[in-house]
Amino acid sequence: MRLQDTGLTFEDIKSKVDTYMIETYERFDFLADHAKGVYMYDENDTPYLDFYAGIAVNSVGNCNEKVVKAVQDQAATLMQTFNYPYTVPQVLLAEKICKAIGMDKIFYQNSGTESNEAMIKMARKYGVEKYGPNKYHIVTARESFHGRTFGAMSATGQPDNACQVGFGPMTDGFSYAPFNDLEAFKAACNENTIGIMVEPVQGEGGVHPATKEFLQGLREFCDEKGILLLLDEVQSGWGRTGALMSYMNYGIKPDIVSMAKAMGGGMPIGAICATQEVAKAFTMGSHGTTFGGHPVCCAASLAAVTEIIDRDLPGNAKKVGAYFIDKLSKLPHVKEARGQGLFVGVEFDGTINAVDVKHGCLDRKLLITAIGKDVIRMVPPLIITEEDADKATSIIAETIEALSE
C-alpha cells in the first residue's frame, strides 16, 4: 500500500504513529513508500540508495521480480496451514538449502532471534539427554548479539545493551569470552559445556570478522572435547560474505547453524540446520511453531536462494565488497574499513561521530546505520555494482567533509 492510495499525508502517518504505536526505534524522518533494486523511494518518488537493505534482508534487491512472483503465486494457492500436512514450498526449500550448504536437516522458524533460540534449545537438549542433566552450558563471545528472546539475549555478550537492561535476571548457563581469542574460549569451557556459539562476523559488535585461526581452532577444540560448534549466521548467511555461508570461507562446518534475513528475500523466515546426529534432539512435541515454514515465506525463500546461487551473488559480494572496503579505507578520519564481502564496517578515528555520519548520509539520500559513536555499518543488496559503491563512497566522503568543517 502506497501513501497515494490512502488519502493521507506523511504528517498524518507520523501523527498516527505517535497516537497508536509503541515506539522503540529511532525513526528516520522519511517514509519508505516503495522500492526497487538498490533503491528505496519516498512518497514523492525521491530515490534513496539503500545500503541498509532492511538490515541485510533484501539481498537479491528490493522487490526482486522472482521473489514477488513466488509470493503472489503461493498466496493465491495456499497461504497458510499448520505443520501437519506436507507442503511443496517447505519441502523443496529444505532440499535446496541442505544440499547447498552441506547440512543434513533443517527446522524452520520466523526470524533470526527464533532461530538462535531454537539452536540454543537443540544444543542444550542434546547435551542433557546424551551426557546428563547439567550438560547445558554454552560459551558465547563478548560484544556478540544473538536476539531478543530470553535465551537469545542471554547468549548476547553485551550486559549493558538496551536489549538486556531492565528485564530482570538473564537465563543461566552462559559464559562469555573475548571474540577472536581462542585460548580465552577454551578457558571459559568446563565439564558441563555443550556448545560454543559465535557469529563468524560480529555485526552489532562493530563488524569484526573471525580470524581463520580462531574459527578453525574452535572447530578443532570442539571436536577434541565433544562440544558442539554453533554458528549464528543470521546476518552473515546467504551470500553476504562472499560465500553462501560465512563458515565456507573458513573451510569448516558447524554442528548447528542459524539463518534468517537474506534467506527470505524480504519475507520473514528463519531456520536452523544441523547434522543428522544433533538434529535427533528435537523429537515429537519438543519444539514447534505455528508460522515457521509458512508456505508463502518458503516460496519466497526458494526464489531468493535460487537467485543467490544462480546469479553467483556471493561472487559479486566478494568482488564488490573488496573494492568498496578499499575505497572507504582511503577516506579522511577513517581509522579502519573492514568486513567480509558486502558485510562492511567503517570505524572513525574519534574526531567525528558515526551517528552524525548516518544522519548526514540520510540527508544526502544514502541509507546506512551506525553502531555506537565510532562505526557505521553497510549491508547493501548483493546485486550492487562498483558504480553503486562509488556513489555511496562519494556521499560518505561529502558527509565527512561537511562534519569536519
Q: Please answer whether residues 69 and 309 qualify as being in contact, where contact means their C-beta atoms are separated by less than 8 angstroms.
A: no
Contact 241, 341 (CB under 8 A): yes
Q: Which pLDDT value is given to residue 86?
A: 97
**In 3D, which of 24, 35, 38, 31 has the Cα closest to residue 316?**
38
The whole-number pLDDT of residue 405 equals 84
Cell of 374: 565510532
Task: Provide the pLDDT for residue 163.
Answer: 86
Q: Which amino acid is at 34?
A: H
Residue (of 232, 264, 236) closest to 146 by Cα position? 232
Query: DSSP characters for 301-339?
Result: HHHHHHHHHHTTHHHHHHHHHHHHHHHHHTSTTEEEEEE
pLDDT for 124 equals 98
- What pLDDT was estimated at residue 232? 98
Element (H, E) at 74: helix 65-75
Angle at 122 between CA 120 and CA 125, to 5 degrees: 105
In the numeric block, which cell numbers belong to residue 368?
546506512
Assigned C-alpha cell, 159 = 550486559
- pLDDT at residue 162 in the model: 84
Q: Domain limits of the chain?
A: 1-61+311-402, 63-309
Residue with cell 560480529: 202
Q: Which helix (H) or strand (E) holds 363?
A: helix 354-363
The answer to whether domain 1-61+311-402 and domain 63-309 are alike in fold is no
Identify the burial level of 163 via C-beta atoms within 10 angstroms of its C-beta, where 0-12 means exposed, 13-18 middle and 19 or more buried. Answer: middle
Query: Which parts of the chain register pLDDT below 50?
Result: none
Q: How high is the pLDDT of residue 320?
A: 98
Pairing mode of beta strands 193-198, 137-141: parallel
Q: In the CATH scheme, what is the homologous superfamily, with its name and number, of domain 1-61+311-402?
A: Aspartate Aminotransferase, domain 1 (3.90.1150.10)
Rounded alpha-carbon distances, angstroms, from residue 1 to 4, 5, 7, 245: 8, 7, 12, 34
In this prediction the pTM is 0.97
- pLDDT for the residue numbered 59: 98
Q: Say what the pLDDT of residue 360 is.
A: 98
DSSP 373: T
Q: What is the DSSP letter of 170?
A: P
- Cell numbers standing for residue 145: 548479539
- The domain at 63-309 falls in which architecture? 3-Layer(aba) Sandwich (3.40)
Please tell me what DSSP assigns to residue 281: T
